[in-house]
Amino acid sequence: MRSRTKASASLDKTAALKICESMGHITSDSLIPILQQIQDAYGYLPTEILLEVSRKTGLNANEMYGVATFYEQFHLEPRGRHTIKCCRGTACHVKESREIISALQRELNVQEGGTTEDMRFTFETVACLGTCFLAPVMMINNDYYGNVKAGKIKPILDRYE
C-alpha cells in the first residue's frame, strides 16, 4: 500500500521486510530490483526504509543512496498521484513553453520539481519529450498534450483526480 503523505512519524516496515524475504539471497546485483519493489510499495524510497533494508540485507546504505540518486526512475521524496512533465526543449522554447511552465506553476502553486500539498501532482520540466511537432507539449502520466496554451491548463488538470 502506497504512502501518500509528505511526512510520517514512522513508516510501516512490513512491506520492505516482505520484499527482502521474497528475494531470497540478496547481493549487490539485487540492488536495483529491490529499490524498484520498495518504490512500488511506498511510492518513493523513504530513508527510514532504506536504512532498514540495509540492516536486514547487509546492502551498503551509501551504495543504495548512490543508485537511487543516479537513476531518474527513483525518488527520495513522496510524489503526487500524477506526474506532469513540461518540455523546455528548443522547439517548445521557441513556441513559448515558458508561458506554459509559468501557468502550471501558478495553477499548481509549486515550482519545478515540486509536489502539490494535496499530493495530486508532481511537476517537472524535461529537456525533451520527443514530440517536437506538438510544441509546446506537456505530458501528464502517459498522456501527451500538444500545442498547449496557458488558458488550456486548468481544464486539462481538471481531468485528473
Structural domain boundaries in the chain: 14-70, 82-157
pLDDT at 120: 96
Q: Which grid cell sits at 98? A: 515558458
Query: 134 vs 25, which has greater pLDDT?
Result: 134
CATH number of 82-157: 3.40.30.10
Query: 15 vs 27, which has greater pLDDT?
Result: 15
pLDDT at 30: 85
**Residue in the block written with cell 500500500:** 1
Does 6 have pLDDT greater than 80?
no
First-last CA distance in the chain: 18
Share of the chain above pLDDT 70, in %: 94
Taking 3-state DSSP, the helix, strand and coil percentages for the chain, each rounded to the nearest 5, stand at: 45, 10, 45
Helix (H) or strand (E) holding 139: strand 138-140
Average pLDDT score over the chain: 90
Mean per-residue pLDDT, 93-121: 95
Range among 9-13, 28-32, 98-102 rated most confident: 98-102
Q: Which grid cell sits at 10? A: 514512522
Mean per-residue pLDDT, 121-134: 94
pLDDT at 8: 47
Say which residues have a Cβ less than 8 Å from residue 129's Cβ, sequence separation at least 6: 85, 87, 89, 137, 138, 139, 144
